[in-house]
Amino acid sequence: MLNQWLLIGILAISTYLSRLIGVVFMARQKMSPSLRLYFNYVPIAIIAALLVKQIFVPTDGQLTISLPVLIGCISTAVAIKITRLFLPSVVIGIVVGLLVRYFLI
């Protein structure tokens, strides 16, 4: 459990520092399109890495899929696609994941 929080903290700090470096050191310079693309995709990549780590859980030397997390992620994606609102979609995904965890599995 502590390792997950350590990973989340390190990833949050690295994301913040990469944004800060981009703002402080490159504010007066024109960024190349590839560097701009990098800064746009860093937070998305970190969130994806954290989600994959939560969906695929090691059990007895094998990877198993956590259905509550997977169904929660899918319901969040569908809610974002329909509503185009981030926070309500995340709340929907959390509620669906909890319902699946405590009532279906």
Q: Smallest Cα–Cα separation from 56: which of 73, 71, 69, 75? A: 69
- pLDDT of 18 above 70: yes
What is the average pLDDT score of the chain? 88
pTM score: 0.64
- pLDDT of 46 above 80: yes
- pLDDT of 1 above 60: no
pLDDT at 100: 95
- Give the largest Cα separation in the chain, rounded: 55
